[in-house]
Amino acid sequence: MTSTYTSRFGETTDNPSATSGRWKPRRLNPPNRLWGSNGVAFGPDGRLYVAQFLGGQISAVDPATWDVDVIVPMDGPVQSPDDLAFGADGSMYIADLVPGRVWRRSPDGEYTLVSDEVTVPNGITCVGDRLFVNEMRPGGRLLELFPDGGEAVVLTEGLALGNAMQLGPDGWLYYPHMMTGQVWRIPPDGGVPEMAAEDVHEPVAVRFDQGGVLHVLSRGAEGIVTRIDLHGSGSRTLVTSGLVGLDNAAFDAENRMFVSSYASGGITELHPDGRTREVVSRGLDGPYGVTVDLGGAVYVGDHYRLASPGPSDEGDITSHTLLPPFVHGVTNAGGFVHFTSQYGDVHTYDPDLGTTRERATGLDQPVGVTVGPDGSLVVAEAGAGRVVAVDDSDTVTVLTEGLDHPVDVAFDTVGRCYVSDDRLGAVLRIKEDGTTEVVADGLGAPQGLAVRGDELFTVEVEHRRLRTVSLTTGETRVDAEDLPVGWPTDTVPRAEPALFTQGMTGSPRPFAGLAVAPDGSLLLSANGEGSVWQLKT
């Protein structure tokens, strides 16, 4: 197979395409060129710049060709860019949410730390040479920062989760209160803040078009945009776009509106009547865990949502739900989908009713999950170095502990449990007394784990290959290579990202899941490009 797409890692990296002498690999959905899309702004060069919180990078989109180029790479000083703005001199200012930093990238590409004293910085905007940022936390602040030095000035406090803000035509700064459904404003030189609008649906960003009309984006599943004529009739118009998880917007010189989505990436032109035009295709942010039910329906944990990849010739992604717990590991049984959360939870989702049931809380980095022979949920608790079971009464029992970093679990046909440990570089079998024995070692960061008959499969993320282990003889072999998983080959991974900051979710830890379909094929979460692969004999 040859690769004809542009990787979301950028054209300077390789574009892997799985190869195998045993399997016929194919994508179930096209790659995603963006790793989610958050803050967007047109730069001095006319390109649309897109911050990608999950990928730790910023790309520039050419409005003529819609080519995507990585400008701020994922192995640079910026860890989790969530919003960006351009100053009068062409400098790019970046809100680096998780570590709590604000950066300046000069027109010649040099980085300068503006501040590391802003907690959960998110909304950021420039007014000429002046720089303003707000905090996405309860009781947050709105501040003016001084790139050339000087103590930050607090304009106001008590924000109920701030986010994308902008100077209005009246010369006031407008910003959302995400928790209260309100839009507020304050003069850039300080003063008493005023509420500009209330009863706005889940506001995540405020943007003014070229005519001065306020557009308030909703972060919900319906993709609602509320247009408010603040300085005219005061009338409101609601547009339901159907774009899941809107995050930000930018207007070009022709007053065309381009929106981003934290949940599915891409860049979409949104017309005033609600029509949409994809200019950079949406897709999967991860994916992480993958599972398939008896009817062949595929589900993936995609951080902000539980999703299903559509046919590769259509590229559709069905978003089953936006899930605040942040979906990572997934499995299914009996018509239910079970998943782990970055918040340390385990949940059961009913696809028919669209409801979730909490099964366990307070776990330390639960990742892979499977269903044991007795119907219990078995979870790899990476942060605690153990494997636990959650029974029908939601009681948590430790099956084994003292591991390094267990990330996935699977059972064979006789009920024995296996666990992959990507730091130890091994797959282990859990014995009845809770001790473990090595099944295969010397592996390159094994993550996703699946068993089919006498064979155990694991994804070696470090080497981008599928390793097969015979459970009868112990022999191993490489069954597929060049898998698009993990980091790009020319990138040095940064230190482990923070999972939380000030109670807010941080950057996810990548996880390449693996599952066996009812027809015997394997399904792989290709988190390096945002697709799901099927490996079929």
Amino acid residing at 133:
V
Torsion, Cα of 311, 314, 317, 318 (10° steps): -80
* Residue 263 sits in the same domain as residue 364: no
Is 321 in contact with 305 (CB distance < 8 Å)? Answer: yes
**Mean pLDDT calculated for residue range 47-73:** 93
Q: Mean pLDDT, the chain, as a whole number?
A: 90
User: What's the first-to-final CA gap in the chain, in angstroms?
Assistant: 15
* Residue 137 sits in the same domain as residue 203: yes
* Residue 250 sits in the same domain as residue 303: no
| Domain assignment present for 475 | no
105 token code pair: 């990238």
Question: Among 19-28, 50-59, 253-262, which stretch is predicted with the lowest mean pLDDT?
Answer: 19-28
**Position with higher pLDDT, 386 vs 12:** 386
- Distance from C-alpha of 212 to C-alpha of 215, rounded to nearest angstrom: 9
| Domain assignment present for 56 | yes
Residue at a domain's end among 227, 262, 280:
280
Q: Under 8 Å CB-to-CB from 65, ≥6 apart: which residues?
A: none
Per-residue confidence band for 314, with pLDDT thresholds at 50, 70 and 90:
very low
* Residue 518 sits in the same domain as residue 371: yes
| Domain assignment present for 3 | no
pLDDT value at 2 more than 70: no
Q: What's the confidence (pLDDT) of residue 30?
A: 86
| Domain assignment present for 5 | no
* Residue 253 sits in the same domain as residue 396: no
CATH number at residue 512: 2.120.10.30
DSSP characters for 390-438? E-TT--EEEEE---S-EEEEEE-TTS-EEEEETTTTEEEEE-TTS-EEE
Q: What's the confidence (pLDDT) of residue 443?
A: 97
Q: What's the confidence (pLDDT) of residue 321?
A: 65
pLDDT value at 138 more than 80: yes
* Residue 296 sits in the same domain as residue 201: no
Is 403 in contact with 436 (CB distance < 8 Å)? Answer: yes
Q: What's the confidence (pLDDT) of residue 310?
A: 63
Q: What's the confidence (pLDDT) of residue 252?
A: 96
**Mean pLDDT calculated for residue range 158-180:** 96
Residue at a domain's end among 245, 280, 315:
280
Question: Whole domain around residue 260: which residue ranges?
Answer: 24-280
| Domain assignment present for 482 | no
* Residue 276 sits in the same domain as residue 307: no
* Residue 297 sits in the same domain as residue 228: no
- Distance from C-alpha of 374 to C-alpha of 388, rounded to nearest angstrom: 14
Per-residue confidence band for 323, with pLDDT thresholds at 50, 70 and 90:
low
Is 343 in contact with 329 (CB distance < 8 Å)? Answer: no
**Mean pLDDT calculated for residue range 479-507:** 65
Q: What's the confidence (pLDDT) of residue 12?
A: 37
- For 378-403, the pLDDT digits (tens) are 999 999 999 999 999 999 999 999 99
pLDDT value at 347 more than 90: yes
| Domain assignment present for 142 | yes
Cα angle at 89 between 86 and 90, to 5 degrees?
Answer: 45
Amino acid residing at 534:
Q
* Residue 144 sits in the same domain as residue 203: yes
Number of domains in the chain: 2
Torsion, Cα of 471, 477, 483, 486 (10° steps): 70
* Residue 230 sits in the same domain as residue 344: no
What is the pTM for the complete model shown? 0.91
Residue at a domain's end among 212, 247, 280:
280
Amino acid residing at 339:
F
* Residue 268 sits in the same domain as residue 310: no
Q: Under 8 Å CB-to-CB from 143, ≥6 apart: which residues?
A: 118, 132, 133, 134, 152, 153, 154, 155
| Domain assignment present for 15 | no
* Residue 154 sits in the same domain as residue 257: yes
CATH number at residue 78: 2.130.10.10
| Domain assignment present for 97 | yes
